[in-house]
Amino acid sequence: MIRDLWLALIARIGGLRPLLLPWFAERWTTFRHWLTRRDGRPPASTSAILPPSNDVRCRVFLSHASRMIEAFNQPLHQVIDETEQSAVSIIGRVKQLDQTATQLIEYLTKADQDTLTMQAQIQDSTELIERISQFMQQLPVKIEAERQGSAELVEKINQIMQLSEIADTIKDVSRLTNMVAINAAIQAAHAGEFGRGFAVVADEVRHLAGRSGTAADLIAQTTKTIHQAVHAYLDNRMQRDFTHDLQEAAHVSESVHQLQDSHEDMKQYYKTLLTVVKQYNISMAHEIVETLGSIQYQDVVRQRLERLLAAQARYDALLQTALDEPALGSTPHFRDHLEQVLSDYLEEESHHGKQSTDEDAPPMIELF
Amino acid sequence: MKTIFLVDDSATMLMSLSEILQKAGFKVETAADGAAALSQFKVGAKPDLVITDQNMPGLTGIELIRETRKLAPFRFIPILMLTTESQQAKRLEGKAAGATGWLVKPVAGKDLLGVIKQVLPGT
């Protein structure tokens, strides 16, 4: 009957039955066996066999047991709360880590796809560089060829111009010859019949001089035409080459700008990539640090349970003493000892962790 | 690289704190109790900061601080107490022994690193 009441009392204290019930049940059984051994017969009921002193001692035990359970109850609930809080915190942080890692992988996968596009751009850039390189390589050869070609043309033009000078000389000779022929004709006329033959020759010479002059004019005109044609050709060619070179140069300039833009794009891309990866890493490092920090609860809980076990061991030792020496168990000292175990435990417990939400409570972090 | 010496009888504390501090760029040395830490200090270990627990087998944290402060190289090295003890009287005892600060477990990683930055300027 009393055992049932005691168990009901423990049950009402609640929450600790799985932990403490076996411990008290074992001691209750030991106590009953001790009574049986002492009286030499099994007890019909506890109230029937217990002398008044035992009854008092039983009430003392029960009263203290109840208070001890109450005292243990609070820190054990704290342990449950702390471990749960710690586990929830760790799970939350690991979840956050997982999300960050997933986002990072997604970002890197996208970046990997982007690099395929960039590979094509790099290929284009390489071709542009090759083209520019070829242009630059050909440029000195081209300049030298044009220089030589120009020198030859200048020489030919000079030769043509010399033809013009020859034509002028022929023209002068023709004019002088004409003058001489006219004079010869005049002289032949003065000579009369004797100069008739000479007059025919002078007339022929004048005709020859006229034809020479005409030929010289033709040569001069043709030379001038050739000269103009060569100049026109050279101008056209120079204009054509210049336009072509200008187009090539413009293309090279455009290619260089394209390369520059491409280089800037790539630089910006990798800068962004590194910044994003760095941010993810900072976030992950922060979560890892805080996850590791949450593991401190294990030490806090361990120490709380160690204090509880120490108090329980002292209580157990006292009960054992009471069982071994029944007379001692009825003394006021015994009750004082039981009280002492409880008050020592409660005081020790109050020295650890955050015990109060009071603003006057010492800070969790204090620098002296 | 600054060196931090951790003293704690809890293996989980030593492991978790070592990870936090190493990730923050510190070199970490450890001892599982006060006596082991003191012997290492006597044979030449010279950390820039000591972080110790209070309740350990053998020497307590406060006793370790008291003995450590007697060693000339450790006279001005910051020593932080990291413990579940929150009692004001115990803090004053620690301060009198030469503790630089008192931190009640559990301390968030960023808070711990913040305190270290305060006692180790330039980190």
Of A289, A299, A351, the CB nearest to B86: A351
pLDDT of residue A36: 57
| 3-state DSSP of chain A | CHHHHHHHHHHHHCCCHHHHHHHHHHHHHHHHHHHHHHHCCCCCCHHHHCCHHHHHHHHHHHHHHHHHHHHHHHHHHHHHHHHHHHHHHHHHHHHHHHHHHHHHHHHHHHHHHHHHHHHHHHHHHHHHHHHHHHHHHHHHHHHHHHHHHHHHHHHHHHHHHHHHHHHHHHHHHHHHHHHHHHHHHHHHHHHHHHHHHHHHHHHHHHHHHHHHHHHHHHHHHHHHHHHHHHHHHHHHHHHHHHHHHHHHHHHHHHHHHHHHHHHHHHHHHHHHHHHHHHHHHHHHHHHHHHHHHHCHHHHHHHHHHHHHHHHHHHHHHHHHHHHHCHHHHCCHHHHHHHHHHHHHHHHHHHCECCCCCCCCCCCCEEEC
For chain A, percent of residues with pLDDT exceeding 70:
82
Grade residue A180 by pLDDT with cuts at 50, 70 and 90: confident
Residue A119 has pLDDT above 80, yes or no: no
Instruction: Give phi and psi for B120, each to the nearest 5.
Output: -120, 80
Average pLDDT over residues A99-112: 83
Given a contact cutoff of 8 angstroms between Cβ atoms, the answer to whether A300 and B84 are in contact is: yes
CB contact under 8 A, B8 and A299: yes
CATH number of the domain within which B73 lies: 3.40.50.2300
Q: Smallest CA–CA separation between B39 and chain A, in Å?
A: 25
pLDDT at B80 over 90: yes
Given a contact cutoff of 8 angstroms between Cβ atoms, the answer to whether B13 and B39 are in contact is no
Q: Is A302 on the interface with B (CB under 8 A)?
A: yes
Q: How far is Cα A180 from Cα A186, in angstroms, rounded to an integer?
A: 10
| Of A50-59, A102-111, A282-291, B110-119, minimum mean pLDDT range | A50-59
Does the pLDDT at position A13 exceed 60?
no
Opening angle at CA A263, ends A259 and A265, nearest 5: 115
Interface mutation target, options B14, B105, B111, B113, chain A, most CBs of A under 10 Å: B105
Chain A environment of B99 (Cβ under 8 Å): 368
Write out the residue range of the structural domain in which residue B39 sits: 3-119
Confidence of residue A292 (pLDDT cuts 50, 70, 90): confident
Mean pLDDT estimate for chain A: 77
Stretch A285-314: mean pLDDT: 86
Question: For residues A303 and A352, what is the distance between their CA atoms, to the nearest angstrom?
Answer: 9
List chain B residues with CB under 8 Å of A299: 8, 10, 12-13, 84, 105-106
Q: Which is it for strands B3-7 and B27-31: parallel, antiparallel or unpaired?
A: parallel
State pTM to two decimals.
0.59
A112 contacts chain B (CB < 8 A): no
Nearest of A308, A106, A101, A367 to residue B91 by alpha carbon: A367
Task: Give dist(CA B116, CA B99) in Å, integer.
Answer: 14
Q: Does B109 reach chain A within 8 Å, measured CB to CB?
A: yes
Higher pLDDT, B84 or A294: B84
Q: Residue A301 in contact with residue A83, Cβ under 8 Å?
A: yes
Q: A347 touching B, CB under 8 A?
A: no
| Closest CA–CA distance from residue B45 to any residue of chain A (Å) | 24
Q: CA–CA separation, A271 vs A311, rounded Å? A: 61
CA Rg value for chain B: 13
Predicted pLDDT at A248:
78
The residue of chain A with its CA nearest to that of B9 is A299
Among A23-32, A221-230, A264-273, B3-12, name the one with the lowest average pLDDT. Answer: A23-32
**What are the start-end ranges of the H helices in chain B?**
11-23, 34-42, 61-68, 88-97, 109-119
Quote the pLDDT of residue B92: 94
Average per-residue pLDDT for chain B: 93
Q: Decide if B7 touches A, using CB distance below 8 A.
A: no
* pLDDT, tens only, A47-86: 433 444 566 667 767 777 777 777 887 778 878 777 777 7
For A215, the enclosing helix (H) or strand (E) is: helix A196-294
How many domains does chain B fold into? 1
Q: Does A81 touch chain B (CB under 8 A)?
A: no
Q: Which of A313-322, A323-332, A343-352, B24-33 has the lowest mean pLDDT?
A: A323-332
In angstroms, the first-to-last Cα distance of chain B is: 9
Which tokens is A305 given? 């349970």
In this prediction, residue B64 has a pLDDT band, given cuts at 50, 70 and 90, of very high
pLDDT digits (tens, 9 = 90+) for A192-206: 887 788 888 888 888
Q: Which of A304, A362, A368 sits opposite B101 (nearest CB)?
A: A368
- Of A287-301, B21-35, B60-74, the least confident: A287-301
The number of beta carbons lying within 10 Å of the beta carbon of residue A100 is 18
> Average pLDDT, stretch A39-51?
45
Among the partner residues A294, A295, A353, nearest to B86 by beta-carbon distance: A353
Name which residue leads in pLDDT, A92 or A28: A92
The mean pLDDT of A352-361, rounded to a whole number, is 67
Binning pLDDT at 50, 70 and 90, where does residue A1 land? very low
What average pLDDT does this structure show over A159-183?
84
**Which residues on A lie below 8 Å from B10 (Cβ)?**
298-299, 302
ipTM over 0.90: no
pLDDT, position B30 = 96
Give the pLDDT of residue A183: 86
pLDDT for A10 equals 44
pLDDT of residue B43: 93
- Work out the pLDDT band at A352, boundaries 50, 70, 90: confident
Tens of pLDDT, residues A123-134: 877 787 787 788
Look at residue B7 and give its three-state secondary structure: strand
Q: Do B100 and A366 touch (CB under 8 A)?
A: no
| Residue B55 in tokens | 């309740």
Residue A44 has pLDDT above 50, yes or no: no
Judged by a CB distance cut-off of 8 A, whether residue B120 touches chain A is: no
| CA dist., res. A35 & res. A46, Å (int) | 9
Name which residue leads in pLDDT, A273 or B29. Answer: B29
A–B CB contacts, 8 A cutoff, strictly below: 99
A365 with B111: Cβ contact below 8 A = yes
Please list every residue in chain B whose beta carbon sits closer than 8 Å to the beta carbon of residue A294.
106
The reply to whether B76 touches chain A by the CB within 8 Å rule is no
